[in-house]
Chains A and B, each alone.
Chain A
Amino acid sequence: MDEGEVSLMNAPFPFTGVVGNDLAKKGLLAALVSPHLSGVLIRGGTGTAKTTMVRGMAGLVPGMEVVNVPLNVTEEQMLGGLDLEAVLAEGRVRRTPGLLERAGGHVLYVDEINLLTERFVHLVADARAFPQHADGAPFVLVGTMDPDEGELSPHLMDRFDIVVDIKGAKDAEERLEVLRRGMRFLRDPAGLLDGFQGEEAGLRNRIARARELLPFVTLPAGHAETIAQVVLEMEAEGSRGDIAVARTAMALAALAGREEADLDDVKTAAALCLGHRRRPARKEGERPTAEGEGDPSSGERDEAGGTSDEVLEAVAAMLPAPDRVIPIGDGMMLGNLFANARRPALERRHRSGRRDRAICTSGHGRYVRSRLPQGRLTDLAFDATFRAAAPYQFQRDRRGMALAIEPSDLREKVRMDRTGSTIVFLVDASGSMGVRERMGMVKGTVLTMLTDSYQKRDSVGLVVFHRESAEVMLPPTRSVQGAYRKLKEIPTGGKTPLALGLVKAGEVISSHISRCGGANPSLVVISDGRANVPLAGGDPFGEALDVAREISRTPIRTVVVDTGTGMPRIDRGERLAEALGGSYLRLEDMSSTQLARTIRAASLG
């Protein structure tokens, strides 16, 4: 990094000392060898040695360091800008390099990359894809994340050629070895480092040789075809997958000291590059797993001696079982409904940010960039203000100070916060919902959405109506666990006071917003719409529609999940959705596919 900036870290845990995690290690090494690979993303739970592995990369290539992107990074800092000191001292305009430039030739490491704003992830990936300075070496992009804290969207994931899921060691002996080495490193780091010195040196040599060899490595035509077939069969999106597999296979061959990539390289490369590119759940249970993908006709033998089937099987064995992907995908599908809700006025207002990123006007949130003050200035961006003032300092009367600042120099901070939205579930618990499976489905749906809400830092509330009353079972809270517990306790039976439920839900949302703030309130109504308890003595359903139209005049976005089943279908759910100005969907439509599976997996009800 910068001159004079001594690496703070004491020697990291040696890369070769990390137990297991072979696939992830191969991915990281491939990226060190091939300058063409766009980046490596490692996904795994806490305490699975993700960070240890990445930090161990320092020094595997002589002079290469691991440069951290802290989560508090600002945009100006990332991209570089005017060198304040140079302007003031010498009156010369000089650029100071940003973090992305300073990382050239090093590993650029973003820990918890899923917590960085989407815009920043793009900035990093763009800088990797289109280096600003042709002469500078590109950086090796490595990200790590814990999927429990939220997913990275597929298009961001696609910007990484290699994505690896890792898990902690399962086997007791392996685990014991991890612990032994961990304790050793804690008590006697020099001793442990000594023990791995030979292996580390060997690996350094292997990488150096591979880097030299890579330009001469070829991919036999037969393998290229196999790659194309595998990519097609896995329904990976776009052609980035093909290219990534080819590049990775060649890097792996170079690491093995071979001038030609072989079928094993292709298998490993496919496992590294295609897992995240599989199209999400195309047909029920038809993911290309070992048992799911058994059609022999697709397995044409190519001249290199491997079949795409063979590769697929190998890849499937290396990739984690896809079961946990499904509920998340489901949640996303439901979550997206809010975006499609028919609320043009609202959409215009919310276009500027993602659902989970709100620009804040108070002094809270992360400082991401600066701008000219909009209105009264309360949150001064000192750095940007100084930079704006700097070029004029030689003309201004500085009155003994280093800086004379004029109103036109002032810049304010743009802050962002992951405040999340407020989502209130209004659940019909009347007798008509009492059919066990249907309530189970409802709970499953809500649970799926709760996962999504949790990851997006939403506040979730639960209002239940049945018999003569509507009850706030859970005021909006970020304690999703609380919501989950309440969900399990929902009683069913009695009549359907829909209008009252809507009133209550509206109250809950507005009082929460006025107390706690928060953007994007949403209401999810889960009911069959068969209202039979009036609010003010009128037609029960007519009254419900009146309340719904009231709600439609507020910024609350709505989704109606119609739980009605069978024929003849009554259109009450649709009419309710129309009155609310929200989206409409039928529980029945989803029950046969992913939803039922979600519910089973969650073993609810």
Chain B
Amino acid sequence: MKEGRLNFPFAAIVGQEDMKEALLLNVVYPMIGGVLIRGEKGTAKSTAVRSLAEILPKRMVVSGCPYRCALNDVDHYCNSCRERMAAGEVLSAEEASMRVIELPLNATEDRVAGTLDIEQAIRTGKKRFEPGILAMANGNILYVDEVNLLDDHIVDLLLDAAAMGVNYVEREGISYSHPSRFVLVGTMNPEEGEIRPQLLDRFGLTVDVSGDLDLTRRKEVVERRIAFERDPEAFRASYGPESARICEAIVSAQATIGKITPTEDVLDMAVQVSMHLGVDGHRADLTLVKAAMASAAMRGRDRVQREDVRRVAGMVLPHRMRRTPFEEGGLDMEELNAWMRERFP
């Protein structure tokens, strides 16, 4: 684990509440399916994502597992953990931090999917799989900056893994599969090109960020940034308690979410909202409920309410409105809010 540069603390980001909320919801409940953050340059998109590292909670993983399988998620164990378990071994736990793994734009297919371990092959004549970025991403956040500029064949790899939660490798004499369950986080500047609809659909949430127009807050942004650059250590230390508080909130929300059972009323509302907007496919309905659950958990409730659905609708639905490449997507939030207030007071 590299700690090359120090991240700006998440807690010190001024404003951009939607973006922060979307990121936190995903950390609390990775099943939401990640978030795509769209906005112009200089809107703290990348800063926010990278700063997550600071507040991500620890998790219990299988000791010695190269994919850091979650200890209590036997259903998604990798082959080696399964074999160890089948051989009667009692798997022990170790603590690992959830991390932000970056997928650089210039990453090659080999690097992303993993490939033949060349050194091993030459030295011993044995084929061994050398894990790639999709392996590192298992149980973590996979972050792609400028995700709209990612090469098509890399996007295909991501789609495969995101759809199955498994990375299947059939290349270079290697036939291998391992779990690859990650929270996909992408940032992009829409001016530089669109994102492939299929990839777009894989993101659970989207948020659009723009520069803050409030003068006081703008000033605050600059001041904090300068303070950080002048003395990163001290700046981070000054936000230490706040970071710890957020981390605790995440841990407690993660515990709460297991207790939530969405009510029939909330399920019905999710379906009605999607249908009202003419959104096809069932992913929207499911994601609305999942995000609403996380939203409730974040607020310390173990019951999902209509207000949770209302709160997350603006993040779940905008990117699902478009049905053909040419229909301009666009969610009239005012209309939707009015409709929701009337239909589901």
Contact = CB atoms under 8 A, between A and B. Distances in A.
Interface in B92-143: 108-110, 113, 116, 118, 121-127
Contact of B125 (A88, A457, A480): A88
A401 B79 contact: no
A359 to B, nearest CB: 13
A307 B235 CA distance: 82
B324 A148 contact: yes
Given A69-B170, A70-B170, A401 B281 contact: no
Contacts of A447: 326
B114 to A, nearest CB: 10
Interface in A43-87: 45-49, 51, 68-74, 76-78, 81, 84-85
A350 interface: no
B264 to A, nearest CB: 8
A172 B171 contact: no
A176 B267 contact: yes
A8 B78 contact: yes
A418 B121 contact: no
A272 B240 CA distance: 62
Interface in B177-209: 177-179, 193-194, 196-198, 201
Nearest to B75: A10
Contacts of B153: 71-72, 365-366, 417-418
Contacts of A88: 125
A111 B171 contact: no
B325 A178 contact: no
B23 interface: no
Residue of A46, A48, A85, A450 with most chain B CB atoms under a 10 A cut-off: A46
B20 interface: no
A179 B271 contact: yes
B281 A72 contact: no
Contacts of B31: 186
A482 B275 CA distance: 28
B261 A187 contact: yes
A279 interface: no
B228 interface: no
B194 to A, nearest CB: 5
A387 B172 CA distance: 10
A47 B280 contact: yes
B239 interface: no
A76 B280 CA distance: 39
A175 B285 contact: yes
A364 B151 contact: yes
Contacts of B281: 45-48, 168
Interface string A97-134: 00100100000000110010000000000000000000
Interface stretch (B2-10, B51-59, B154-162, B241-249): B154-162
Residue of A8, A183, A418, A457 with most chain B CB atoms under a 10 A cut-off: A8
Interface residues of B, number: 70
A84 B127 contact: yes
A189 interface: yes
Residue of A11, A49, A115, A381 with most chain B CB atoms under a 10 A cut-off: A115
B262 interface: yes
A366 B109 contact: yes
Given A71-B157, A71-B160, A403-B122, A146 B282 contact: no
Contact of A189 (B75, B122, B286): B75
A451 B170 contact: no
Contacts of A10: 75-76
A396 to B, nearest CB: 13
Given A73-B170, A172-B271, A403-B125, A454 B151 contact: no
A299 interface: no
Given A74-B170, A169-B282, A403-B125, A115 B271 contact: no
Nearest to A188: B261
B152 interface: yes
B163 interface: yes
Interface in A206-233: none
Nearest to B115: A382
B254 to A, nearest CB: 15
A175 B157 CA distance: 30
Given A72-B113, A479-B193, A178 B282 contact: yes
A48 B325 contact: no
Contacts of A169: 282
Contacts of B172: 74, 77, 367, 381-383
A183 B267 contact: yes
B131 to A, nearest CB: 14
Contacts of A5: 79, 175, 177
B168 interface: yes
Contacts of A9: 164, 166
B283 interface: yes
B271 A386 contact: no
A168 B201 CA distance: 15
A500 B165 CA distance: 54
A382 B283 CA distance: 41
A48 B194 contact: no
Nearest to B324: A148
A477 interface: yes
A559 to B, nearest CB: 21
Contacts of B168: 68, 70, 72
Given A149-B198, A364-B151, A99 B160 contact: no
A481 B171 contact: no
Interface in A385-406: 386-387, 401-403, 405
A78 B175 CA distance: 10
A146 B83 CA distance: 36
A179 B289 CA distance: 9
Residue of A146, A383, A451 with most chain B CB atoms under a 10 A cut-off: A383
B125 A402 contact: yes
B284 interface: yes
B282 A168 contact: yes
Interface string B269-281: 0111011000011
A365 B108 CA distance: 8
B76 to A, nearest CB: 6
Contacts of B272: 172
Contacts of B163: 51, 111
A71 B171 CA distance: 10
B169 interface: yes
B171 A77 contact: yes
Interface string A6-21: 1011110000000000
Given A47-B201, A48-B282, A99-B175, A179 B267 contact: yes
A438 interface: no
Given A8-B79, A183-B286, A417-B153, A382 B179 contact: no
B212 interface: no
A78 B275 CA distance: 43
A72 B171 contact: yes
B160 A85 contact: no
A478 B195 CA distance: 9
A85 B156 contact: no
A72 B157 contact: yes
Interface of A: 2, 4-6, 8-11, 45-49, 51, 68-74, 76-78, 81, 84-85, 88-89, 96, 99, 102, 111-112, 115, 146, 148-149, 167-169, 172, 175-176, 178-180, 182-183, 186-187, 189, 363-367, 381-383, 386-387, 401-403, 405, 417-418, 447, 450-451, 454, 457, 477-482, 484-485, 602
Given A5-B177, A148-B198, A366-B153, 18 more contacts: A8-B179, A10-B75, A47-B280, A68-B168, A69-B170, A71-B160, A72-B171, A81-B173, A84-B127, A112-B159, A167-B280, A179-B271, A182-B285, A367-B109, A382-B116, A402-B124, A478-B194, A480-B326
18 contacts: A5-B175, A6-B79, A46-B281, A46-B283, A47-B201, A48-B282, A49-B282, A72-B113, A74-B170, A84-B127, A148-B325, A168-B280, A172-B272, A179-B285, A383-B174, A450-B326, A477-B193, A478-B193
Interface pairs A-B: 7 shortest CB-CB: A47-B281, A402-B125, A10-B75, A47-B283, A88-B125, A70-B168, A383-B172
